[in-house]
Amino acid sequence: MALNPQRTAPAFWRDEHLPFIEARTIADGRKVCYTRHSHEHFSIGAITAGRSLYIHGASTFQISAGTVVLMNPGDVHACNPLYDQPWSYHMLYIDTAWLTDLQHQLGFSTELGFRPFTATHTRDVVLYSSLIELYEVLVDAQAEHLHKQSAVVSFFTEVQQRLNPPTTRVREVNHKLERAAEYIREHCTEALKLEDICLAAELSPSYLIRAFKQYYGMTPHAFLVNRRVQFARTQLRNGELIADVALAAGFADQAHFQRTFKQHLAATPGQYRG
């Protein structure tokens, strides 16, 4: 069966009136491969056909049509083809601050930040059908703005109530490693040195390298590269030129940027910029 470039290319949806949410779909994911990566936003998606391999942290799962996958901000993950079998999906990326505000509205403590989900994936048929329905509303050019707004709030309220009740145990925070990550985020476009990160976090190099990967699922360098890609993603959404974005994000050249971006998003910068 020959691959159709139009079906294998990712399609992105955005709306300037709903800047806190973005959607992506792939009709045939056989050639869609990701490196391990993470996002600063919350991600949730639905496998709409076929099967694939889903990597989440140290675990790997086989998932199939009807599965809903969830990634907290910072969760290391990847989803890739299984033995060249066709598969397709819809993904939604939601701004963490927006979702945190919704959590507060639903009764979570306002003294806490985003409350992460413990579930990595689910076969909840209600959530699956609701996600498909929300995606169709979002991409419908005829749907009114209020309809889309209401659908987003309704869906993520349902996600919270079904998968993240107030009794969910929160992962213990390592504040020094959090400081290291924050330093990398703030200086991601610069040529960072290990000693600078260690100084900011008050950690030894050996502990930082070992504990950071254990805590975040990727090395400090991989975390830095991932953050540069997320920075570039924002710049591209704002319409910046690819060459300018590559330079601003801290990549050595445009070719390196193009290659790294595709490894992380399974889409070229040009495809993502649209």
Asked if residue 168 belongs to a domain, the reply is no
Q: CB of 38 within 8 A of CB of 218?
A: yes
Phi, psi of 90 (to 5 degrees): -120, 140
The pTM of this model reads 0.74
Last residue of a domain, one of 132, 163, 194: 163
Same-domain status, 120 and 24:
yes
Structure tokens at 55: 């990597």
Asked if residue 170 belongs to a domain, the reply is no
Last residue of a domain, one of 106, 136, 163: 163
Q: How many domains does the chain have?
A: 2
% of the chain residues with pLDDT over 90: 64
Q: Is the pLDDT of residue 145 over 80?
A: yes
Tens digits of residue pLDDT in 180-208: 999 999 999 998 888 899 999 998 888 88
Q: What is the mean pLDDT of residues 208-231?
A: 90
Same-domain status, 21 and 54:
yes
Same-domain status, 15 and 39:
yes
Last residue of a domain, one of 163, 198, 223: 163
| CATH number of the domain encompassing residue 93 | 2.60.120.280
Same-domain status, 193 and 92:
no
Q: What pLDDT sits at residue 271?
A: 92
Mean pLDDT for the chain? Answer: 89
Same-domain status, 64 and 131:
yes
Same-domain status, 152 and 234:
no
Q: Which domain holds residue 239?
A: 175-273
Q: What is the mean pLDDT of residues 237-257?
A: 93
Q: CA 196 → CA 108, 166, 193, 231, distances in Å?
A: 36, 38, 5, 21
Same-domain status, 26 and 124:
yes
What amino acid occupies position 41?
A: H
Same-domain status, 159 and 180:
no
Using only C-alpha atoms, what is the Rg of the chain?
Answer: 19
Distance of alpha carbon 140 from alpha carbon 154, whole angstroms? 17
Same-domain status, 43 and 126:
yes
Q: Is the pLDDT of residue 102 over 50?
A: yes
Across-strand partners of 12? 24
Asked if residue 202 belongs to a domain, the reply is yes
Same-domain status, 180 and 79:
no
Same-domain status, 9 and 121:
yes
